[in-house]
Amino acid sequence: MTGFITKKLSRKRSLGSILKSARTKANFTLEAVEAETKICLKYLRALEAGEYESLPAEAYNIGFVRSYAEILKLNPEKIITMYRQERSESRFSAIAPARITPKRMADWQFLITPKLIGAIFSIFVFIAMVSYVATQLQKFSSPPTISLSTPAQFTSKVDTANLAGKTVSGATLTINSEPVLVSTDGSFKQDVQLSPGLNEIVIKSISRAQKESQTVVKVLYDSDVASLPSANN
């Protein structure tokens, strides 16, 4: 049995270049190797070119590499090891580096420019301004709110009721059709004369946009309780 010739394989050389160099020294054409090994010519070319993606299933490829190494008198195990390493590297480089390539980095650098950043900032400012104007318009067009610090219904033992609350700034306020002074922050305070029995006090607020709202406070003035003599009389 003819022994295999052990040749030192350079780590810098690719498997394809080693196979091609050995084939040339042995005076083999690819067609001659195809006839001897029964390996399809296109697969032999793919092996020498390092185009492993053009090869069939891996189970066949190991057999191809072994047969090719044997006919060229190369160490089959070393050649198979080189093939597996290069195949693994080619698979990895086809997936991982593709995620961040120099071309893609250049594309991002082209897209993200000071002009683009300025345009995005302008859009955000425009959206903020539109939102602010829309909010102000909504407030302007909505009826003014009236909030009271006194209950909507209560009983009084005195003939005056002190009403305090808040409405929108700049609104015109009336209590029982009488104008009431409103401070710059919208707060107001007013004493209302009561009649014996149930009193309905109508508080009305009119905004600058002539939107109107009102609320009613009901106060029961118990004049009988108020007129009872004290224990000292």
CATH number for the segment(s) 146-227? 2.60.40.10
Tokens of 92: 């990895």
Give the predicted TM-score (pTM) of the model: 0.40
By CB atoms closer than 10 A (0-12, 13-18, 19+), residue 138 is: exposed
Query: For the residues 70-75, what does the mean pLDDT come to?
Result: 93
For residue 203, is pLDDT > 50? yes
> Domain 15-98: which topology?
434 Repressor (Amino-terminal Domain) (1.10.260)
User: Could you give the residue range(s) of every CATH 2.60.40.10 domain in the chain?
Assistant: 146-227
* pLDDT score of 232 more than 60: no
Nearest CA among 167, 166, 151, 158 for reference residue 201: 151
* Upper half-sphere CA count for residue 111 (Cβ side, 13 Å): 6
pLDDT in tens, 95-148: 444 454 555 555 555 567 788 888 888 999 999 998 888 777 776 668 899 999
Cα separations in angstroms, 125 against 111, 115, 129: 21, 15, 6
Mean pLDDT, residues 29-47: 92
User: Which residues are registered as beta bridge partners of 163?
Assistant: 190
Whole-number Å distance between alpha carbons of 196 and 213 = 27
Poorest-confidence range of 45-49, 112-116, 172-176? Answer: 112-116
